[in-house]
Each structure stands twice: as C-alpha cells, then as structure tokens.
Amino acid sequence: MSKPLVAILSGAGISTDSGIPDYRGPNGLWRRDPAAEKLVTYEYYMGDPEIRRRSWQMRRKNRTLRAEPNAAHLAVAELERAGVPVRVLTQNVDGLHQRAGLSARKVLELHGSARSVVCTKCHAKGSMEDALARVEAGEDDPPCLECGGILKSATVMFGERLDPVVLGEAAAISKACQVFIAVGSSLQVQPAAGLAGLAADHGARLIIVNAEPTPYDDRADEIVREPIGTALPKLLRGLATRSDAQ
C-alpha cells in the first residue's frame, strides 16, 4: 500500500522561531508599521526612487538571509527522510525549508524568494547577497548589470500576480494529497489560502496549526493551537509512524 502524500502549506508563523517576524500576527510588521507595506508594493516601488532606496536599506537590515532553520523546518525535512512523500507549498520567501535539508524540487515558493533579485526589464536573475554588497559599497538603488533596469527582490510584491505555473502545480498537489497541513498561516491571503479549501474539497484530511483562528477552521479535521516549534514536530512524527504502519 502506497504511503499517503502529505502537503504542507507554510506561512510566516513557521519562521518566527528563526527570528523572522510575521506580517499579520498581533505583533506583525504591517500592524506595527503600515508605511512599510509601501516598500513592498510594486506600483510604489517602480514609481518612486526614494521608496526603492528605503527598500534596499530594509533588505540590508533584514534578518531573513542570516536566519537558520528551526525545529519545525527540520521536522519537515525529517518527514521526507522517513520516506513519507511530502511537498511543501510555502508562502515564505526565506528558503529555510531548503536550508533545513528538504529537497528543493519538493518546495514550491508561492511568493518567490528573498535570496534572489530579478530585473523588472530584462528579467535577468542574480544573487541578493551580491546586490546587497553593491548597496553596502554605496549604490543606494543598484540597477541591473545586464540592461540598467530596476532591480527588485525575486519575491511577489503587493500588486503582482503569483507565477501561474507555480500556482498550478500547488493546486495539483492540493488536489492529489491525502493530508494537507496548514501551518503558521493566517489563511487570509488568496490565492494561496484557497489551497486549504481545495485540498478539503478533494477529500484530504485538513490539519491547521496556527495560534489564531483562520477562515478555514470550520473545514478542518484537526486544529492545533500549541506553539509550532513543538506542535509540528510532534504531529509529523505521528504521521511518519502511522505511515510506517501502512
């Protein structure tokens, strides 16, 4: 008997133990500093050089690139090593699932990656570390080295569409999985949040691990309100054990 496919939708809450603040929680970035939202809004970013300069300074101070995986990320990688088919659909841009040891091909980054930059004109990609080194050296708004266009983080900004190919793959996984775990996500940002409902519609067991209520709680088979760093490893160990028994 084949082992059940486990899909894990991870949101900002899975990375807070790594020192990366969430955005919409009680102490989230957007609640503390609504003006910060402009720095990651495509229209403002493209139209205002001052916004871009501030954005680069925000990235320079950002802890994302220096963050290390925590117990929850490591538990997901351990589930894969235990032989359970697992796919991660992440709303995060920190790359910590891959750094924890999960195969990159098993991670779909719905909102892109903060570890890369992309040119808005010629679409050339590059390393965020290299771009930040240019900022450190005195370039306050480093242009694309290929064409001189405006560089941005390879993340999906407010006002941009998600990559339809990535979203299509995520939808296919959500329909095919037997277990769907939404962890550390407010499940308020569409279309990513809708994947939980899609999985439930196709018969998956829906488990929500989140400190606060979500719009999909009434669809869930199980709701866990305990801290993610201890709750998720425990939950995944149980899944691995049950999977071994099959």
Residues forming the active site: 111
Please state the three-class secondary structure of the chain as a single string: CCCCCEEEEECHHHCHHHCCCCCCCCCCHHHHCHHHHHHHEHHHHHHCHHHHHHHHHHHHHCCHHHCCCCHHHHHHHHHHHCCCCEEEEECCCCCHHHHCCCCHHHEEECCEEEEEEEECCCCCEEEHHHHHHHHHCCCCCCECCCCCCEEEEEECCECCCCCHHHHHHHHHHHHHCCEEEEECCCCCCCCCCHHHHHHHHCCCEEEEECCCCCCCHHHCCEEECCCHHHHHHHHHHHHHHHHHHC
Helix axes 164-176, 194-201, angle to 10 degrees: 40
Instruction: Respond yes or no on whether the N-terminal peptide bond of residue 34 is cis (omega within 30° of 0).
Output: no
